Chain A
Amino acid sequence: NNELRRIEKSNNFEKKLAYADKLYQKKKYNTAQTLYQDLLQVYKGTEKFEGLYYNFAYCSYYVKDYVQAAFHFKNYLDVFPNSPRAVEIDYMQAYCYYKQSPKVSLDQTNTMKAIAAMQTFINNYPNAEKVAEANLVIELCRRKLEKKEFTSAELYYNLGFYKAAGIAFKNLMRNYPDSDKSDGYKIMAIRAYYNYAKNSILEKQKERYETVLGEYLDFADHYPNSKLKPDAEKFYTLAQNNIKSLENEQNKAKSNQ
């Protein structure tokens, strides 16, 4: 509109700033951002700068340019480390990483950054109001990473790389010991090892079925009340039966000689 164009061109910085603030209030973040951008140099080093930069950084956030927003929030903290808004801005900076974190099947670098940034926030301001929220974000991020690792382990299982699947599921359990799905991972590992043994050459089968037995005992130890216990027992008996029949055949072969 005309007013905007006139103000954009004018050199009356006070008026420009007031107009930008008005736009910001009205949630016209895109236009406000361009106005603020022009004013940054002018007001740098004056007392109005803090408020201006605060709004400017939030403009990036509201237009969903989280990369820029994270950058500006970080800059804000560097410039005004003692500002009363520092707690909020520190949290927002970390939150921008969380916002950038894509779906599970894509690159999770930003998820890891979000976890690290949130953890730094909690360490910096252990008494802040937002700590609970920060913990929640960390939890969500960790869930995401866990899900990612689970998918890749599952992929190995589906592709028929049973040994790799077994290892991947065990790594998963080690990396996320507090997961509520641990027993599920364990049963997947047992399944993978069972299939691995089944698809092995005869000489190796016995040894590999024995791993299955070991894994089952481990399962029974750790998750005695798990709903999945019958499943685990199934593999245990299957493995035991197979070992027995293998031994029988060996004995037969010996007696034939």
Chain B
Amino acid sequence: QQKDTLPPAPPANPPAASPVFTGTPQQYEIAEITVAGTQYLDKSLLLSLSGLSVGDKVTYPGGDQFTKAIQSLWSQRLFADVTIYVTKIEDNKIWLEIGLLEMPRIASFTFRGIKKSEADDISTKAGLRKGSVVTQSLKQNLIGVVHKFYADKGYGNATIKIEERKDTSQVNATNLVFNVNKGNKVRIENIHIVGNYNILDAKLKKRMKGTKERTRLTLHPDNQHVYVDSLAQPDDFWQTYGFLQPTRALEQLDPYFRFKLFSSAKFNEGKYIEDKGKVIGYYNSKGYRDAVITRDTTYKSLNKNLNIDMQISEGKKYYFGDITWKGNTRYSDSVLTRLLGIKRGDVYNLELLEKRLGKQMSPEGGDISGYYMDYGYLFFQIDPVEIGIRGDTIDYEIRLREGPQATIKEVRIAGNEKTNEHVIRRELRTIPGEKFSRQDLIRSNREIANLGFFNPEKIGMNPVPNVADGTVDIDYTVEEKANDQLELSAGWGGYIGLTGTLGVTFNNFSLRNIFRKETWDPLPSGDGQKLSVRVSSNGKAYRSYNFSFTEPWLGGKKRNQFSVSFYSSYQNPYAYQNYYRPYDTSSSSNGHFKVLGASVSLGKQLKWPDDYFTLIYSVNYQQYKLKNYNYFGITGFDNGTSNNINLKLTLSRSSVDQQIFPRSGSNFMFSAQYTPPYSLFSPNKDYSKESVSDQFKFIEYQKYRFNAEWYVPLSRPMGSDNKTFVLKVAAKFGYIGRYNNRTRLSPFGRFELGGDGLSNFAIYDRDIISQRGYPVYYTSDPSYNPESGQPQGYEGFTVFNKYVMELRYPFSLNPSSTIFGLAFVEAANGYRDMKDFNPFNLRRSAGIGMRFYLPMFGLLGFDYGIGFDRLKAGGGLKDAAKFTFMLGFEPE
């Protein structure tokens, strides 16, 4: 037992602020205040801190001035004790004494015997702070915190010793050292349940999520039990060859052998109490509504672990009887009964009944409250009432109070510290004057999440009903997240000189503020526009410039997405040669391939078939200039200029719930792209007589693409951040063709399949479709996959298809690092001609991968895929496997 470190108390006058007082309260004027018991602190300051001063009027007894004074002194956290004494009362005057006990303060504290992280946890939980006063209660509190902390972790016998050492460098301070001994971990040996005749032990133990038995393999099981089954029957299981029943066989084996790999057997009092509730809950859900745990106990097992015994009284099994409705005007009885889905004669289950009625709001809806809420019945109340029990049958009357339909009055938005309010408000589906509906609320959530400016897990929507006028205000709260991206790389290399990339993407830009200097913080932002600039250079060998700008609501009145982009690139195949052999001035050493392009697009949200649809028109122009460079390996196409003017129409529908890690919804996209049909304007021209570069002077083609993606959540959302497995199914098709067979299809705009989906300095228009587990491939024969690069005469595929199935699981949904893992199977192939197209002749692969979304960087990811069609007799799995990395975007 520790001795109290406090010195004995000063004068024996009664404290002024005692909770029990006698006599009539009376006003006094303070004549004098003295301060006693201080050693280091300044008395006049303490007086001013107390808030009492000579001449003040106080009420005594019972006035609150003394309490206040004590509180304000106490809040300094400098004293172990504060008391105010009345030393004298004369006429209307009162003499006071403030008795203080100064205590040493904590100069530092150290934990010994435990990890730093544990020490940090404990010190925050115990509220330890440098500068606070060392009191007995502080120590007791600390001891309690340590015990609880380790008990929760399964260490039931933790001890702590507190050492105090005077700190000589500071006035009135001590250093505290805590020696903590965790002790041994206590695990659960056996859980012995008796009295359960209708539900197996194993099923009940499965319900106990936080209380599990430990793994065991022994010949001498611990058979001691506190409670004995009164109805225990002689066990003839083995004699009757009952071991053919797996559950029974396992139960028989259990004392000798038990295998629990994924559960920890530590004992946690809090969780145990919770688990007892779960056992009863399980009984209730099976119709045993009288089930109780009559008694339970824990004791030490033979090998010093913990045994748990519990006795259960099951009671009778009950069934639902008649269910009648009262107070419903919007839905008829039969509709409600159908929605409820519980029939007369079903096993009684109160939890199920309440869930179907929607007593607790559930996000997925589908319950009866949900049906009402969806139509604005915000003041809706539902109450199931037992009206009779006949034998084992319980009759219910369900009483409803529908109330009025709420109309939305005000919609408020908070938390947008960067994004302008109109950017959010224009996305919302909850509009003043409309009836409240939960569907609208969920849709609004999705729209906010899809803006990409906010943490999708932290979008708050709070309807505030005003009962008086039947209206509802809706408060939205958002949390901004960083979503600008920066791409930077630089290097210096022999012949190419300075190489590097500088790219920035601002996803929440504000163009109109660009000339207003005060809005630059660090850049004008908040209007939801997207600006992206990228410069990349390999010195003399390669240069590219990109610029794009997108305004999601052109004009601010309708969701008309407008975007413009420009790009230009330059590639010189002779840079290396010129550097090392500058004297070689043959004509071939002077060549390049230049691309110049621009596009303008305008998207419109459609109202029909539903408003997830968007129609986008875009006009694109590209110019390709070849000089002394046979880039495509087409004979006679060393020099020339090609112009590609086209109009592209895209119809897309997107209903995914968020961008980075979608859990539900789908994306569809169909696009058609047309160049002017030059050949139709001059029907008699014979193109085969012209040179290749003339034929490709004005490129003509028609091109169609179709993409579809579905996301399906496979399990209920779990944990605080709603983690769940998600299945992604996707299919893609593409076709490019001529208008008529007199012309020749150019290499531009075709498809390239396989590989990691990165463009790798390919600077002309080509749709790159990745396939994991394969290198870029150039034939339709699945088993032919050389990695030697592009063969002569290959111009790209004109038809392709690709199918993907992906199972995803999020490890972290925090916006500062969204991480998910995936396992995939996919199949794809490309065909040089429509004639070769065979949707079943595919390259197949499977593998696993990870994705990391980090602010500033965007996406980082890698996949490990095995191409099944690359497996060769004698070759290992490794020969058919391929790692692919991605940076910035998910390849198609």
Contact = CB atoms under 8 A, between A and B. Distances in A.
Nearest to A81: B51
A151 B557 contact: no
A148 B421 contact: yes
Interface in B74-93: 75-76, 78
Nearest to B430: A164
Contacts of B49: 79-80
A168 B411 CA distance: 9
Interface residues of A, number: 34
Contact of B420 (A80, A106, A160): A106
A155 B422 contact: yes
B557 A46 contact: no
Given A45-B40, A106-B526, A156 B416 contact: no
Interface in B385-437: 409-411, 413-422, 425-426, 431-434
Contact of B557 (A79, A80, A106, A160): A160
A156 B432 contact: yes
A151 to B, nearest CB: 7
B76 A102 contact: no
A152 interface: yes
A155 B432 CA distance: 12
Given A106-B418, A167-B409, A171-B409, A45 B51 contact: no
A158 B556 CA distance: 8
Contacts of B44: 47
A107 B416 CA distance: 5
B414 A109 contact: yes
B838 interface: no
Contacts of A82: 48, 51, 53
Contact of A47 (B42, B410, B413, B416): B42
Contacts of A159: 426, 557-558
A151 B432 contact: no
A44 B433 contact: no
A3 interface: no
A161 B431 contact: yes
B45 interface: yes
A41 B78 CA distance: 12
B76 A79 contact: yes
B237 to A, nearest CB: 68
B221 interface: no
Interface in B852-867: none
A78 B75 contact: yes
B421 A171 contact: no
B125 to A, nearest CB: 23
Contacts of B422: 105, 151-152, 155
A152 B45 CA distance: 53
A106 B421 CA distance: 6
B432 A102 contact: no
Contact of B416 (A81, A106, A167): A106
Contacts of A45: 40-42, 45-46, 76, 78
Nearest to A161: B431
A46 B45 contact: yes
Interface in A5-57: 41, 44-47, 49-50
Report whether over half of chain B's contact residues are helix, strand or loop; otherwise say mixed. loop
A248 interface: no
B415 A107 contact: yes
B426 A47 contact: no
A107 B414 contact: yes
Contacts of A226: none
A243 B49 CA distance: 74
A168 B432 contact: yes
A222 B252 CA distance: 89
A163 interface: yes
A83 interface: yes
A167 B471 CA distance: 12
A50 B45 CA distance: 9
Interface in A75-123: 78-83, 102, 105-109
A151 B431 contact: no
A171 B433 CA distance: 11
Contacts of A171: 409-410, 432
B131 interface: yes
A238 B289 CA distance: 69
Contacts of B414: 107-109
B651 to A, nearest CB: 24
Contacts of B76: 44-45, 79
B433 A164 contact: yes
B72 interface: yes
A125 to B, nearest CB: 17
Contact of B417 (A106, A156, A163, A166): A106
B417 A167 contact: no
Contacts of B432: 156, 161, 163-164, 167-168, 171
A6 B1 CA distance: 48
B410 A46 contact: no
Nearest to A82: B51
Nearest to B171: A42
A164 B48 contact: no
A50 B76 CA distance: 13
A155 B51 CA distance: 53
Nearest to B473: A171
Interface in B609-623: none
B460 to A, nearest CB: 13
B481 to A, nearest CB: 15
A184 B72 CA distance: 52
Contacts of A163: 431-434
B409 A46 contact: no
Return the 6 tightest CB-CB contacts between A and B, nearest first: A105-B420, A164-B432, A163-B433, A167-B432, A164-B431, A47-B42
Interface of B: 40-42, 44-46, 48-49, 51, 53, 72, 75-76, 78, 130-131, 409-411, 413-422, 425-426, 431-434, 526, 556-558
Interface of A: 41, 44-47, 49-50, 78-83, 102, 105-109, 148, 151-152, 155-156, 158-161, 163-164, 166-168, 171
Given A44-B76, A156-B432, 7 more contacts: A45-B76, A49-B45, A79-B75, A80-B48, A106-B417, A155-B422, A168-B410
16 contacts: A45-B46, A46-B45, A49-B45, A79-B49, A79-B76, A82-B48, A102-B417, A106-B416, A107-B416, A148-B421, A152-B421, A159-B558, A160-B557, A164-B431, A167-B409, A168-B432
